[in-house]
Structure 1
């Protein structure tokens, strides 16, 4: 008996181990989520109904408004192909997203397995209030644009395979080989996140020339009559192709026992509306109309998905036919007008705005009405505009609104700064002039964000220890000057000889990066330097400072001289012109008929304005755009790298004086920068009243730093816009009644 007892004990121990292993590997399968089933047993959790979306909950179908955030695939120091977000990051973010009031996350492509694993684990711990997601399926964008033909067999095969891979990844039934250079994730997908899926969005924003080219090449293409999706009479060739791709997604998903609503990605550029006041022909060239496609034998249904921003295309600003309605504040609003017109164009199906928002950045790329520009906002302004846009979308009877975006992404490019930086280095520094990087409500700030506060208090500099450099120089009006840096800024702290009083004295800080520049200027009365300055900071006002750029170094003028800028005075092109100009970015090109529908002037904005304020987010008067502050005799500043002419501070690369070739600037490697300070009082430079000798800039110390190559530190924290959006989202408990009565 004792022998048999020992045997049974060992057997039980082995069985327990096997059961534990089986439970570990199979635990992703055991997910409890309420859903209904179709006649053939297929699960349905979400469905479309008329112009609305519904969720099956408490044994009934209930109206559902998708209020969510888009989520990118990476963090600072990484490009999208590296997909470096950890499982811990995701679980922390999911809680923050739900706390904000969102009920859904939209992702654009197959994520690394960690995303799906983290979501399943998070939702298992929140069974009564799960966080859902929208799975995007990335189209072969580059090949589509290059070939201008969606029916190209290689494009078609690649996209169909991507669709099948995405479905398998969501249901935890595949192993994919990662392709870091192309941005494709990979690994072992074993966690079944399918029950937490809200819908599919197939594809990306469609390039209009490609759509038109496809329609023309395949005008005689037969109608597509798929098992679950088909095109309606009158559909274009591209719309038939879209029906095929959505049918591929449906046929693949149903094999896993589920159905979810499906849409294809779309944007204003390829909407079905006419924009008579749009100057660019391409922005109103062709449409991809969701109403030309229908779902059949797909109980989860079909909806329309659009990216809608208030500043692009330009008709939002210039087209009077879209300035006919008032918003909830009683203002004439082209965005509100557009929302209503777009919804009216889809009378029998739900429409979701799956991207909206503005960035918190110094840089600006487009101007919109009611101040809703693409950039130029601080975090508070960003949140207020985003909240207004959400209210307009919800109030217009849409089925959902997905904010762009959750986290800042340093690698992003913008059309009006991408020629000033190095594409393969964007992920390694924080360029606040590139607005596309800063749409997030979760900020990703440079590493000294929580070490130095711009507040006129030098105590945080003392805590830096050796991570700063004293610039040893004897300059009248300055007792001492210190410098340090991080991934976003050059920081300066100066102790003045007397309290700052711009009514009596103007403070100047010139910056010398490379040979050339201005050795004299009106801001240097009676003084000549022995080495030129590329940029100049002027503090002569209580509230605002200004960054200026030497006229012959002016990147903006050099790039756009033949593209719409007024004729440039030949004197400005000369070295040591003595002229410092405002630092500007373009916001639209010069457009002339017949290249455009009508003439449209070149537009630019000044971005060198330096706001005085406090950069400490714990203060009630916090301003994320604050660049300087002074209290008594302590002056603190942070200067964005690009305003100093850097194309990549991580490799000490500065744009040089050579003319741009093919709209791309050449760069020069430097050792560091020289800071040249002086004070002007009574139209004289302090300490230089009686000197005829050139000011010895060449003997001033350089501030130098080590390349940081690919090692990036950053600070993650919610922006002010997060709390503003939290309040706005939590006010929305469901969809509004369809005002059209459809």
Structure 2
């Protein structure tokens, strides 16, 4: 009898596996409501009358270009067509968008995919409007629930080509192109902030949810049950209106919470001081939102991960371990919805190997992205999306947002702001090329560019949406072992010094900045201490408490290095304590060839030294400009203890060359700044694009 039971069990298992294999490999032709589904920890797509495992290789795309903000949706259909082609050529098979795009994008996607055997698919984001949260609304409250449902309905209608979608008064476009056949699934919500999740847990009773398509059990937080309810609404509305089902994903909170809860099970909750609540979670765990049989597609988890130094430090500086632990936690597919590294002169906290190095150039960006991609692949996640395809001039970073006019940020490019530079495609100033590149040629400089000259030296100047350019030409060859070169710039009429005792220099006008070129490795820009924004904010609180102790004067004789904070003081779990904030001397100049057409191109180069010339480009942010398009700089910090704009018309520029006891001086001359209403720009695929393209194509060939 025992033997019979064993044999029967084996036969039953074999039959069950056989039936499961048939179901896995059979196309959804008997039920054309869906063409994607999950099975275990993988995503499958119906193709050629069978189910094939589908690994997402994707890129995030936003409606961003210079001169406009994302909400304006002014990217044209032909632009989207070109960008989709670039993404496809790179080896990607999927695009992810964070919210409803303009009809131009969906029209372009339809045109691009027409008659393609292997189309490029779409993961459509459905955004949760954070602006309400800043006003103190409960995410689960009736008002936000209705706002969220309205956005779900709006997006479902739009991607299915419903031309009568006028539920939102700001929607005036006709979404009459049905691209639902390319939609793999929807990501519902955003990566919610810890304090918002704690607040909503306090405001709402914890209870499970059971809907038609999704449910939660008693392990779920009240917010996870709420998100299940919203996902249930999405699935129900799409099926009822359009007879279609798609994958549904929820954006999990920072992966630290998941990894931490695996290794320290007792620490997966935040305790109130009085222990009134013992399960108050400050993270969203997609694993707690489960699919019922009526949802034939399934649920997957999405995580947005930016491998900065401080985040990876939590995981033993091991990217493989980092993604492996996330993957191991889940029983549903895991997709890395965003991973990005900026190519910027100030790259924030993303220099993992050398946190004291301020910049990441395009080549380093590409190499780092490729390494992260390979780590994700090794973890067997169901796919990933690079953040992002193109740079976003309108973005601001935590360490620069107070120093600029935010509603003018889309009109100029700030290489000091790392969040503008995550793209694989750059928008460079100029219709076809930039007006100048520090490199091994000076043919772009004309006679009319000369600002001042004598028998030995001439200085030429230009400016555009990204830099102030200078070119110094000498009658004899340069020898910086014997010569010291100084350029003095007078920007603000509110302060400045007519001399620098520390450098033994005298100027025609009170100067605010000194550019010191002495060799390839130690050249830098110094700022007048009274106009030193970094030091002002370092001492702001003390100065406000005791203004009588302020020693700074508008004409003080002191110039200082220019620093920027790249990492705030923060608690690091693996260290068991706080890591000090990190600052970087951003005024230190990077030597190299800045021409993208040259083989030794370095995207972050500031200056180049030729036989008898020096080319230099200075980022606007380094000179305390708040908006160069309207010629506005930062005003006197000490007048009102805040950063306010001041309009100027020109910069006075002088040059001093010292060789032993000899001094050659070009007197300070006014350079009239050019302003602009709309920026000119051209697209340029970065070095990182080609590195990633090579990685993706080689990976596909290796399959």
TM-score by length of 2: 0.87
Whole-angstrom CA distance in 1 between matches of 2:74 and 2:348: 28
SS of the aligned residue for 2:700 comes to coil
SS of the aligned residue for 2:531 comes to coil
What's the counterpart of residue 225 of structure 1?
210
Q: 1:139 to 1:374 in 2, by over 3 A?
A: farther
Greater Cα offset, 142-151 or 671-680: 142-151
Q: 1:188 to 1:359 in 2, by over 3 A?
A: same
Contact 1:64 1:735 in 2 (8 A): no
Greater Cα offset, 169-178 or 493-502: 169-178
Q: 1:187 to 1:585 in 2, by over 3 A?
A: same
SS of the aligned residue for 1:130 comes to coil
Whole-angstrom CA distance in 1 between matches of 2:451 and 2:567: 41
Contact 1:410 1:427 in 2 (8 A): yes
Contact 1:364 1:373 in 2 (8 A): no
Whole-angstrom CA distance in 2 between matches of 1:398 and 1:661: 52
Whole-angstrom CA distance in 2 between matches of 1:219 and 1:423: 39
- Structural RMSD (CA): 3.1
What's the counterpart of residue 686 of structure 1?
663
- 2:133 aligned to 120, 141, 144, which one? 144
What's the counterpart of residue 457 of structure 1?
441
**Count, aligned residues:** 658
What's the counterpart of residue 733 of structure 1?
700
Contact 1:366 1:373 in 2 (8 A): no
Query: Could you tell me how far 1:685 is from its partner in structure 2?
Result: 5.9
Query: Could you tell me how far 1:36 is from its partner in structure 2?
Result: 3.9
Whole-angstrom CA distance in 1 between matches of 2:639 and 2:407: 18
Query: Could you tell me how far 1:666 is from its partner in structure 2?
Result: 1.1
Q: 1:530 to 1:733 in 2, by over 3 A?
A: closer
Whole-angstrom CA distance in 1 between matches of 2:588 and 2:171: 41
Query: Could you tell me how far 1:56 is from its partner in structure 2?
Result: 1.3
What's the counterpart of residue 6 of structure 2?
none
Query: 5 Å matches for 1:12-23?
Result: none
Query: 5 Å matches for 1:51-450?
Result: 51-125=41-115, 127-176=116-165, 186-220=172-206, 222-255=207-240, 256-268=242-254, 271-274=257-260, 286-296=282-292, 297-311=294-308, 314-317=310-313, 319=314, 322-323=315-316, 333-346=317-330, 348-371=331-354, 376-447=359-430, 449-450=433-434
Query: Could you tell me how far 1:701 is from its partner in structure 2?
Result: 2.5
Whole-angstrom CA distance in 1 between matches of 2:484 and 2:168: 55
What's the counterpart of residue 616 of structure 2?
637
SS of the aligned residue for 2:260 comes to coil
Contact 1:360 1:375 in 2 (8 A): no
Q: 1:652 to 1:713 in 2, by over 3 A?
A: same
Whole-angstrom CA distance in 2 between matches of 1:522 and 1:602: 32
CA distances 1:349-404 after superposition (whole Å, capped 9, x unpaired): 11010111201111232255334899721110100000000000111111011000
Q: 1:564 to 1:241 in 2, by over 3 A?
A: farther
Contact 1:499 1:632 in 2 (8 A): yes
SS of the aligned residue for 2:396 comes to coil
TM-score by length of 1: 0.83
Query: 5 Å matches for 1:471-510?
Result: 471-474=451-454, 477-478=456-457, 480-510=458-488
Q: 1:177 to 1:82 in 2, by over 3 A?
A: farther
Query: 5 Å matches for 1:548-697?
Result: 548-562=526-540, 573-590=552-569, 598-659=577-638, 664-682=642-660, 684=661, 686-687=663-664
Q: 1:301 to 1:365 in 2, by over 3 A?
A: same
Whole-angstrom CA distance in 1 between matches of 2:608 and 2:124: 45
SS of the aligned residue for 2:523 comes to strand
Whole-angstrom CA distance in 1 between matches of 2:664 and 2:435: 35
What's the counterpart of residue 542 of structure 1?
520
Greater Cα offset, 547-556 or 74-83: 547-556
Structure 1 unaligned regions, length at least 5 = 1-33, 324-332, 689-694, 737-742
Structure 2 unaligned regions, length at least 5 = 1-24, 272-279
Query: Could you tell me how far 1:118 is from its partner in structure 2?
Result: 0.8
CA distances 1:565-623 after superposition (whole Å, capped 9, x unpaired): 9x99x897333443322222112334699xx9844423211222222211221211011
Query: Could you tell me how far 1:702 is from its partner in structure 2?
Result: 1.4
Query: Could you tell me how far 1:429 is from its partner in structure 2?
Result: 0.3
Q: 1:661 to 1:240 in 2, by over 3 A?
A: farther
Whole-angstrom CA distance in 2 between matches of 1:456 and 1:413: 33
SS of the aligned residue for 1:250 comes to helix
CA distances 1:170-203 after superposition (whole Å, capped 9, x unpaired): 11114456989xxx76400111100011111011
Whole-angstrom CA distance in 2 between matches of 1:315 and 1:630: 38
CA distances 1:670-717 after superposition (whole Å, capped 9, x unpaired): 0111112111222x46147xxxxxx9x6xx3311134313x1111101
Whole-angstrom CA distance in 1 between matches of 2:580 and 2:167: 46
SS of the aligned residue for 2:52 comes to strand
CA distances 1:7-66 after superposition (whole Å, capped 9, x unpaired): xxxxxxxxxxxxxxxxxxxxxxxxxxx994376x34322211111111111211111110
Query: Could you tell me how far 1:144 is from its partner in structure 2?
Result: 2.4
Query: Could you tell me how far 1:232 is from its partner in structure 2?
Result: 2.0
